[in-house]
């Protein structure tokens, strides 16, 4: 750890000097790039400065302890040495966490996809509730939501919805939501009062940049058609809906939310780019993932990650074994305790080496 943190600290000092010596025009492209890197290194640099100060204080106390003859003063210096060692150990753990490899997608926007799974109309209703839950969470965290495509049911459920989430660290905040969500409750349509189990799938994809994925014209087919909606309000008489098929992978993206064909096409390409980015990234890491079991999981859509038990008022995340008994607040978007616990569990896994 020492060699790496020393290298980071040296780099931080160099960047800080560059920003302050006036050699670069403030706000320029190079200045902005340097400022961003310096800001990213700042937490680790600050922690290392604290560590060095504690180390100096401990060394001074040790020197004083060697030459001090008074028993009471020796006791005080001894306590200071102990306190400094304890503090240094705590800071060292903090530095370890700060030196963990950062997910390169954390600061990106994301695309979320929610689909009703097993359970028919009840699954679609649950998918709609999950969407409202994430809307509440995003509003609380000042994240902007923009619907790309939505397929409603007549009873107010959602067969499928795709939406963009934009804002600071959007993907980082929501990435652990990918997977199968299971609900256990008595449906309103159930006359016998029996508890039913239904599922919905959630996928969270980092928004891909143009440079991440190359989409060749010859690899895609674009179809235009009239949009439709369950209640008739979204029906257009003109062909504004877009369907894009990526022929090599078979990935299909549709968008009919906007009245403009061009806007729908732009949104659809954004989703396609992110799905392809996720697809090709998955191929690269699949062999590694077979050898390593993640505590939090990779968010595979076939993986059951969470159960919402309404009769018990309980939400349980099966990846970390955490149960919360505030299902009403949770469904309103108050999911911070869960997302924080998942992030902590992932960090602990990485600190332990990430092996089985």
In DSSP notation, 116-133 reads E-TTTHHHHHHHHHHHHH
CB atoms near residue 12 (< 10 Å): 22
268's CB contacts (< 8 A; 6+ apart) are 148, 149, 242, 243, 244, 253, 254, 255
**Tens-place pLDDT, residues 273-305:** 999 998 888 776 554 444 334 445 444 445 689
Tens digits of residue pLDDT in 222-233: 999 887 654 444
What would the two tokens of residue 258 be? 């906007």
Q: Where are the domains of the chain?
A: 2-98, 105-207+299-356, 208-291
In order of 61, 73, 76, the CA distances from 69 in angstroms are 14, 8, 12
* CA distances for 252 relative to 199, 247, 266, angstroms: 23, 9, 15
Domain 105-207+299-356, CATH number (from 3.40.50.300, 3.40.50.2300, 3.30.365.10, 3.30.70.1660): 3.30.70.1660
d(CA 326, CA 310): 10
Q: What is the pTM of this model?
A: 0.71
Q: Does domain 208-291 have CATH number 3.10.129.10?
A: no
What tens-digit pLDDT sequence spans the chain (356 residues)? Answer: 568 899 999 999 999 999 998 888 888 888 999 998 999 899 999 999 999 999 999 999 999 998 888 888 999 999 999 999 999 999 998 898 888 888 888 999 999 999 999 889 999 999 999 999 999 999 999 999 999 999 999 989 999 999 999 999 999 999 999 999 999 999 876 767 789 999 999 999 999 887 778 899 999 999 998 876 544 444 455 678 999 999 999 999 999 878 888 899 999 999 999 999 988 887 765 544 443 344 454 444 456 899 999 999 999 999 999 999 999 999 999 999 999 999 989 988 887 765 54
39-96 pLDDT, tens per residue?
989 999 999 999 999 999 999 999 999 888 888 899 999 999 999 999 999 999 889 8
Q: Are 125 and 155 in contact (CB under 8 A)?
A: yes
């Amino acid at each position: 750890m020492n060699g790496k943190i020393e290298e980071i600290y040296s780099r931080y000092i160099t960047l800080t000097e560059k920003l302050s010596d006036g050699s670069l025009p403030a706000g320029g492209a190079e200045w902005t790039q340097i400022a961003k890197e310096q800001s990213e290194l700042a937490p680790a640099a600050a922690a290392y400065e604290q560590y060095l100060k504690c180390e100096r204080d401990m060394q001074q106390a040790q020197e004083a302890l060697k030459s001090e003859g008074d028993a009471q003063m020796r006791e005080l210096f001894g306590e200071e040495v102990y306190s400094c060692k304890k503090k240094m150990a705590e800071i060292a753990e903090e530095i370890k966490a700060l030196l963990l490899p950062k997910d390169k997608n954390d600061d990106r926007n994301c695309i979320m996809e929610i689909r009703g799974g097993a359970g028919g109309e009840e699954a679609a209703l649950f998918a709609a509730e999950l969407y409202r839950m994430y809307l509440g969470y995003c509003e609380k965290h000042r994240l902007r939501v923009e619907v790309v495509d939505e397929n409603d049911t007549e009873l107010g459920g959602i067969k499928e919805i795709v939406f963009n989430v934009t804002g600071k660290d959007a993907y980082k905040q929501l990435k652990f939501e990918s997977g199968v969500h299971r609900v256990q409750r008595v449906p309103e349509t159930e006359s016998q009062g029996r508890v039913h189990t239904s599922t919905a799938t959630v996928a969270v994809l980092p928004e891909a940049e143009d440079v991440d994925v190359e989409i060749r014209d010859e690899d895609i087919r674009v179809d235009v058609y009239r949009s439709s909606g369950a209640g008739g309000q979204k029906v257009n008489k003109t062909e504004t809906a877009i369907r894009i098929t990526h022929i090599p992978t078979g990935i299909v993206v549709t968008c009919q939310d906007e009245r403009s064909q061009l806007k729908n096409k732009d949104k659809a390409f954004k989703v396609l780019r992110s799905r392809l980015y996720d697809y090709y990234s998955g191929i690269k890491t699949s062999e590694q993932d077979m050898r390593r079991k993640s505590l939090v999981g990779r968010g595979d859509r076939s993986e059951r990650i969470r159960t919402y038990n309404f009769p018990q008022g309980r939400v349980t995340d099966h990846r970390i074994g955490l149960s919360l008994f505030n299902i009403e607040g949770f469904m309103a978007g108050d999911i911070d305790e869960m997302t924080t616990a998942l992030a902590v569990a992932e960090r602990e896994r990485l600190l332990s080496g990430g092996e089985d």
